[in-house]
């Protein structure tokens, strides 16, 4: 019997010695009564030492997980720094043949490298967050401010990205004394990549200077410059671009693949501007864009918006679609700011606030 007990004891100790984790057993008085070989190799023979002193501490832990385990019979976990190592420590109760707890076993698992990696990832995430916030501020600054442009039109707008960075962009360009450029664009996707592309669009159109008063040429030029980037086929840009002449009070429009039709809000009703055209992408290197002229009288308006509005879905998966027309029709006499706010409220109510794409909406009013 003694030989069998000795054999079992050695077998148990061999198992504990073969573990990577450090193991020690603490009695009710807080003394170490057993350690496995890995712990002995790490700290020396600490058997008989008070538990906190065995770890190189001069005072008891604020929360002693061994005593909590012994008193309450629960498994407790915490992190412990020992020397230059960080351990995850789990304390479990040990019971006698009658089920009474008489000591606890603590298992120390080295998580030093894991903690270092977590700190590196945390640091990188914080840096990325700062960079994204910086990019977000830049993106917000490149959007035009609401107000009057070239003593000819009044602009009201709203932009709601579905992530911190969005892929929608719009702008107003004072081309010359007579002509004002206006566009709204949507880059496929959202996030960092899409936000960078919005800056490309703005810069490319800005570089055209007075040539931007030709809408068809402007989109052809934008498509050419886009193809020079050498991007993958799954990237593309849709854009509605127009040039308003304040003498003729006509806006000349071209469509670069937008599926959201601009809405003209007149004093006695509304009308949609249907105009086809291909998106800016690498699949079509050359394309002749069709122009359409729309006459606008003083006080009349034109509403541009991206597909984040018409493709918003309700809980049943139904699209918002042309409900925007009803909102505009019901609010012909409302201000531009009020119409935009009512459209956005209507979309949010319809989708219960669950927006999966960026939303950009802009109203141009002839003054």
Give the tens place of pLDDT for each residue, 62-81. 889 999 999 999 999 999 99
168 in Cβ contact with 184 (< 8 Å): yes
Q: Give the rounded distance of the alpha carbon of 206 from its chain centre.
A: 28
Query: Is 306's pLDDT higher than 80?
Result: yes
Burial class of residue 45 (count of CB atoms within 10 Å of its CB; 0-12, 13-18, 19+): exposed
Q: Which distant-in-sequence residues (6+ apart) come within 8 Å of 294 by Cβ? A: 250, 251, 253, 264, 273, 302
pLDDT score of 40:
94
Average pLDDT over residues 43-55: 94
pLDDT band at 45 (very low <50, low <70, confident <90, very high): very high
What proportion of the chain, given as a percentage, has pLDDT over 70? 94
pLDDT in tens, 255-298: 999 989 999 999 899 999 999 999 998 887 777 899 999 999 99
Q: What is the pLDDT of residue 39?
A: 93
**Helical axes 215-227 vs 192-207, angle rounded to 10°:** 130
3-state DSSP helix/strand/coil % of the chain, to nearest 5 = 35, 30, 35
**pLDDT of res. 13:** 65
For domain 142-366, give the CATH superfamily.
PPM-type phosphatase domain (3.60.40.10)
Q: Flag the least confident range among 161-175, 247-261, 345-359.
A: 161-175
pLDDT at 180: 97
pLDDT reported for residue 120 = 92
**Where residue 3 falls among pLDDT bands split at 50, 70, 90?**
low
Per-residue pLDDT at 12 exceeds 80:
no
One of 3.40.50.300, 2.60.120.10, 3.30.559.10, 3.30.450.20 is the CATH number of 2-112, namely 3.30.450.20
Report the C-alpha gap between 280 and 239 in whole angstroms: 8
Could you tell me the CA-to-CA distances from 130 to 120, 123, 167, 189 in Å, in that order? 15, 11, 19, 22
- Who wins on pLDDT, 165 or 306? 306
What integer pLDDT is reported at residue 1 of this predicted model? Answer: 60
Look at 186-190, 287-291, 350-354, 356-360 and tell me which has the smallest mean pLDDT.
Answer: 186-190
Residue-wise pLDDT tens digits, 317-327: 999 999 999 99
Token readout for 47 is 């058997």
At 325, which helix (H) or strand (E)?
helix 323-330
The predicted model gives 51-59 an average pLDDT of 92
The domain segmentation of the chain, as residue ranges, is: 2-112, 142-366
DSSP letters spanning 212-253: GG-HHHHHHHHHHHHHTT---TT--EEEEEEEEETTTTEEEE
Contact 249, 256 (CB under 8 A): no
> What are residue 92's DSSP bridge partners?
105
Q: What is the pLDDT of residues 191-248, one digit of tens each?
A: 777 788 888 898 999 999 999 999 999 999 999 999 888 877 778 899 999 999 999 9
DSSP, residue by residue, 116-169: HHHHHHHHHHHHHHHHHHHHHHHHHHHSPPSEEETTTEEEEEEEE-SSSS-SEE
pLDDT band with cut points at 50, 70 and 90 for residue 188: confident
Reported as a pLDDT band with limits 50, 70 and 90, residue 178 is: very high
pLDDT greater at residue 141 or residue 203: 203
Q: Give the separation between CA 61 and CA 365, rounded to whole angstroms.
A: 70
pLDDT higher than threshold 60 for residue 5: no
pLDDT of 162 over the 90 cut: no
The pLDDT, as a whole number, for residue 356 is 83
Q: Is the pLDDT of residue 166 over 90?
A: no
In this prediction the pTM is: 0.70
Confidence band of 6 (pLDDT split at 50, 70, 90)? low
pLDDT greater at residue 355 or residue 250 = 250
pLDDT at position 168 is 87
pLDDT band of 347, cuts 50, 70, 90: very high
User: Highest mean pLDDT range out of 9-23, 79-93, 140-154, 183-197?
Assistant: 79-93
């Amino acid at each position: 019997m003694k030989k069998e007990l000795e054999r079992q004891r050695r077998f148990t100790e061999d198992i504990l010695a073969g573990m990577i984790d450090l193991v020690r057993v603490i009695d009710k008085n807080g003394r170490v009564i057993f350690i496995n070989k890995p712990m002995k190799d790490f700290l020396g023979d600490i058997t008989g030492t008070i538990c906190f002193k065995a770890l190189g501490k001069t005072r008891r832990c604020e929360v002693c997980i061994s005593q909590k385990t012994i008193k309450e019979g629960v498994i407790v976990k915490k992190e412990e720094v020992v020397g230059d190592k960080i351990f995850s420590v789990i304390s479990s109760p040990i019971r006698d043949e009658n089920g009474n707890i008489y000591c606890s076993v603590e298992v120390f698992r080295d998580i030093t490298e894991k903690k270092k990696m977590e700190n590196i990832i945390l640091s990188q995430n914080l840096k990325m967050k700062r960079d994204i916030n910086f990019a977000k501020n830049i993106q917000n600054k490149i959007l035009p401010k609401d107000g009057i442009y070239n003593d000819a039109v009044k602009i009201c707008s709203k932009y709601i990205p579905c992530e911190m960075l969005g892929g929608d962009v719009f702008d107003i360009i004072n081309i010359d004394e007579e002509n004002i450029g206006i566009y709204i664009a949507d880059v496929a996707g959202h996030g960092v990549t899409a936000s960078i592309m919005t800056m490309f669009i703005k810069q490319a159109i800005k570089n055209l200077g007075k040539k931007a008063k030709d809408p068809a040429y402007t989109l052809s030029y934008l498509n050419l410059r886009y193809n020079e980037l050498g991007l993958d086929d799954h990237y593309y840009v849709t854009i509605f671009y127009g040039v308003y002449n304040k003498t003729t009070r006509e806006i000349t429009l071209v469509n670069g693949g937008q599926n959201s039709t601009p809405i003209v809000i007149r004093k006695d009703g509304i009308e949609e501007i249907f105009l086809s055209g291909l998106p800016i992408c690498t699949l079509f290197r050359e394309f002749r864009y069709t122009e359409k002229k729309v006459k606008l009288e003083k006080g009349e308006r034109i509403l541009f918006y991206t597909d984040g509005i018409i493709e918003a879905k309700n809980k049943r998966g139904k699209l918002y679609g042309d409900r925007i027309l009803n909102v505009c029709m019901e609010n012909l006499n409302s201000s531009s700011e009020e119409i935009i706010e009512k459209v956005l409220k209507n979309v949010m109510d319809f989708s219960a606030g669950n927006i999966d794409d960026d939303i950009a909406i802009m109203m141009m009013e002839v003054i």
